[in-house]
Amino acid sequence: MHEWALAESVVNTVVKYKEEKNLLKVNKVLVKIGKLQQIELDIFNSALDDISKMKNIEGKFVVEEEDVFFKCRVCGSEWDFKKGIKELNEDESEYVHFIPDLIRVYSKCPKCGSPDFEVLKGRGVWIEYIEGEGL
């Protein structure tokens, strides 16, 4: 269960932060998830709820998704996931539908056709901020 492992590391980070900053309580945690990340949001949210209760973190966890952007290493043009999908053939777009991260394998720069590009945004999981009350 990928979601549970992720939720646990998010909550552990919050616990550590709370201790380091001597916070009395945590009010809100904003977690960002790139859309290329394969995460079931329902499972992730309930995992965050359960684990934070277990670890005595009373704050609210808010999960937001980040859109995906690519940048061509050859000509520098940028495009998003939707445009990337449009350039794929039927089979490829079906694979990408199930495993979004595969778009990195199939996508090409819409301008110059190069397969050499980087993912600017839309990958990974991170904590954007933690709001708490100190002494």
Work out whether 7 is an interface residue with Zn ion (CB under 5 A).
Answer: no
CB of 24 closer than 8 Å to CB of 135: yes
Given 9, 12, 38, 114, the residue binding Zn ion (CB under 5 A): 114
- The reply on whether position 112 binds Zn ion by CB under 5 A is yes
**Beta pairing class for 25-34 and 69-72:** unpaired
Q: Contact, 60 vs 14, CB < 8 A? A: no
Q: How far apart are CA 38 and CA 101, in angstroms?
A: 8
If the CB atoms of residues 62 and 112 are measured against Zn ion, the closer one turns out to be 112
Query: Residue 108 Cβ, how far from Zn ion at the closest point, in Å?
Result: 8
The whole-angstrom distance between residue 39's C-alpha and the CA centroid of its chain comes to 8
The answer to whether 53 touches 83, Cβ cutoff 8 Å, is no
Smallest distance from Zn ion to CB 107, Å? 11
Contact range with Zn ion by CB under 5 A, out of 17-25, 34-42, 88-96, 102-110: 102-110
Place of tokens 């973190």: 57
Binding mask 47-76 for Zn ion (x = CB under 5 A): -------------------------x-xx-
Residues of this chain that interact with Zn ion (CB under 5 A) are 72, 74-75, 109, 111-112, 114
